[in-house]
Structure 1
Amino acid sequence: MGMLDFKEIPQANNANGNQDTFELFAREVLNMLGFEILVNPDRGQDGGRDLIIEEKRIGLLNDTKVRWLVSCKHKVHSGGSVIVNDEEDIADRVLANNCNGFIGFYSTVVSSPLNRKLESLKEKFEVQTFDNEKIEGLLLMNERGKDLIKRFFPKSYQRLDDKAPSNLLNKYMPLKCACCGKDLLKRDLLEDYAGVIVFVEESGLNKGFTADFEKTKIVDIYWACKGTCDDKLTQYYINQGYVNGWEDISDIIIPYKYLQWIMSIFNRIRDEDDIYTDVAFEKLKNFIIAVSQIVFKNQSKEDIRRIMDLNSLPDWM
């Protein structure tokens, strides 16, 4: 489950006055991204489109405009994926509405058959899909997105104050389990203490009698779900003669613990107690960067402007 519960947006097939909410939500998200809204959602026969939007692309010699047909499908309440029958005659609809591209804006994932169909259409015109995960990421990493979360996901907004990724990076960086691929920075996994970071170390078995036992060689680092995923990876390294040490990711995101943990690593490297392989050290850096999205505060607009100014300075300044 993601950080935003798309079931907070009312169903589209209930004629209770709120059935247009998901389409209105799509309009606000696309407007946030910089698209111009040409045709708004309306009720009745819509000609196979929910919105028509325009994208302006700035070129070196001239500017171009792309006219997109947007189709919204809000199926999260049923739990089903968006299937081929949900999106019939896409090419005809794009042509009939004088568009250059198609955007599928969905609250669930796309089925494999529909995904293959959309891929084949890319030979004729541009195609983009926004599923719930992509929409969530865009909202969390955009300053205006927080207002939309508060408006359309009021319950989720209440839960986001201390576990939402900050806008530290230009693009959200997930921390995927090395076994199953789950994002270990998702709120529900952090709250359940469901993830660990594991340091794979040489043991006496593979160091040999002449090894320096006062030093620890970190040969690899991985992060994984507790339980089955971690057990599989642990056994893999045990079979190669390695041992491991681990920390709960949910502990490391506590600001004081985060600082203490990093300083301990620095001190052990400085004192030459720990030696890292290139692979392990690169993974350590990636972990620190990814987790910092949870630990650090959001950057203000002034912070971002200052960073841009600093990055524009010549190297010698």
Structure 2
Amino acid sequence: MIDWKEINDGDTWELFARDFLIELGFVIDAGPGRGADAGKDLLVSEQLRGRLASRKFTWLVSCKNFSISGKSVGPDDETNITDRIRHHSADGFMGFYSTLPSSRLIERLQEFSRGGQIAAYEIFDSKKIEGHFVDTGLSKLALRYFSNSYDTMRPIQKLFGEYKDLRCEVCDKDILILSVRTPYTANIVFAKDSASFREKTKKKKVQSVHIVCKGDCDRLLQSRLSAQGFYTGWQDISDLANPLFYLENVLSYMNILHDRKEDYTEDAHEKIKSIYVALSQRTLREITKEDEKRYRDLSQISGL
């Protein structure tokens, strides 16, 4: 999903690591800088909270960008780990890699952890970093550092300050996240009154709207709705992640309501709106600070 070769130097990789960890909630105690760094690229911290107290936990972050060669990060690339941690008064070791750690490096870190030489270790490899772009919607970060990949990735954006999920009503999987990783895996199902289809002059009535995974979940839902006497229609959810289909669908729904071709119950109408809201996180453009300010200003005015 992300072409890590878009960052082809160590300095930019360290800056990316800093900004990525900030987005995840870490505090930067010492950022990237040129010159001798005594074996650290970053020092970051977080607050570990217990039932009665909390304490600061500091990570020594080592950034390695081997995206051009594709080689794994091994023990020869990460020397003197425990000495570096002691020198910087850190608690744990964090590797931030554009490739994978070797099995020998993982074994060494496990030995240090079991022996109490480091309190903990964590590896952000290419797949783990990529997973955060899908799940947490780091769209601005993707655009800044991976502009070419961004065009094809279209990560989920937190347009509303927090993520709005879209879950299958049978298995409870998050359909929106699945649509980024694997397209065409879920449907919107419309449950319609069968009587309105038997009487050609009668207005079609949409009783309810559902989100469901394709396959077993879809078959189970269709069976339930059929047993209740409903006729069903469907639309592929991934098509609505396409900006053109998204706009066409919104306009079509507006035309249906305007021309009164179909009746939607209050519940069905609310479900349609929630689907549009969730899908907008994948289809609309980046929200700028000016957009946010203008929206807040107008919202305050309209609330008067």
Deviations 1:46-82 (A, max 9, x none): 8xxx833378xxxxxxxxx97443453679858x9x9
Deviations 1:211-263 (A, max 9, x none): 99713332221223333332222122212222211112233344443333223
**Counterpart of 1:179 in 2: which secondary structure?**
coil
Q: 1:275 to 1:257 in 2, by over 3 A?
A: same
Q: Does structure 2 conserve the Cα–Cα contact (< 8 Å) formed by 1:137 and 1:172?
A: no
Q: What is the CA-CA distance between 1:285 and the residue it aligns to?
A: 0.9
Q: Does structure 2 conserve the Cα–Cα contact (< 8 Å) formed by 1:189 and 1:195?
A: no
Q: What is the CA-CA distance between 1:133 and the residue it aligns to?
A: 3.9
Map 1:244-259 to 2 at 5 A. Answer: 244-259=232-247
Unaligned 5+ runs, structure 1: 10-16, 56-64, 95-101, 110-129
Pairwise CA RMSD: 4.8
**Counterpart of 1:199 in 2: which secondary structure?**
strand
Q: In 2, Cα distance between the equivalents of 1:257 and 1:138? A: 24
Query: Identity of aligned pairs, percent?
Result: 28
Q: What is the CA-CA distance between 1:303 and the residue it aligns to?
A: 1.8
Q: 1:107 to 1:223 in 2, by over 3 A?
A: farther
Deviations 1:181-211 (A, max 9, x none): 1434533433xx333211112223xx8x9x9
- Alignment size in residue pairs: 251
1:179 alignment partner, one of 170, 180, 188: 170
Partner of 1:221: 209
Q: In 2, Cα distance between the equivalents of 1:300 and 1:315? A: 23
Map 1:2-151 to 2 at 5 A. Answer: 4=2, 8=4, 25-31=16-22, 36-39=27-30, 51-53=43-45, 67-70=56-59, 71-72=93-94, 77=100, 88=113, 106=124, 133-134=131-132, 136-138=134-136, 140-141=138-139, 143-150=140-147
Q: Does structure 1 conserve the Cα–Cα contact (< 8 Å) formed by 2:45 and 2:57?
A: yes
Q: 1:258 to 1:29 in 2, by over 3 A?
A: closer
Q: Does structure 2 conserve the Cα–Cα contact (< 8 Å) formed by 1:4 and 1:136?
A: no
Q: In 2, Cα distance between the equivalents of 1:144 and 1:273? A: 44
Q: In 1, Cα distance between the equivalents of 2:271 and 2:189? A: 11
Q: In 1, Cα distance between the equivalents of 2:130 and 2:111? A: 17
Is 1:165 aligned to 2:167, yes or no?
Answer: no
Partner of 1:233: 221
Q: Does structure 1 conserve the Cα–Cα contact (< 8 Å) formed by 2:26 and 2:44?
A: no
Q: 1:178 to 1:314 in 2, by over 3 A?
A: closer
Partner of 2:89: none
Q: Aligned letter for 1:38?
A: D
RCO higher in 1 or 2 (8 Å CA, sep ≥ 6)?
Answer: 1
Normalised to the residue count of structure 1, the TM-score between the two structures is 0.58
Unaligned 5+ runs, structure 2: 48-53, 60-92
Q: Does structure 2 conserve the Cα–Cα contact (< 8 Å) formed by 1:139 and 1:149?
A: no
Structure 1, 174-183 or 241-250: larger mean CA deviation? 174-183
Q: 1:54 to 1:239 in 2, by over 3 A?
A: closer
Map 1:257-272 to 2 at 5 A. Answer: 257-272=245-260
**Counterpart of 1:165 in 2: which secondary structure?**
coil
Q: In 2, Cα distance between the equivalents of 1:149 and 1:256? A: 24
Partner of 2:279: 291
Normalised to the residue count of structure 2, the TM-score between the two structures is 0.60
Q: What is the CA-CA distance between 1:271 and the residue it aligns to?
A: 4.3
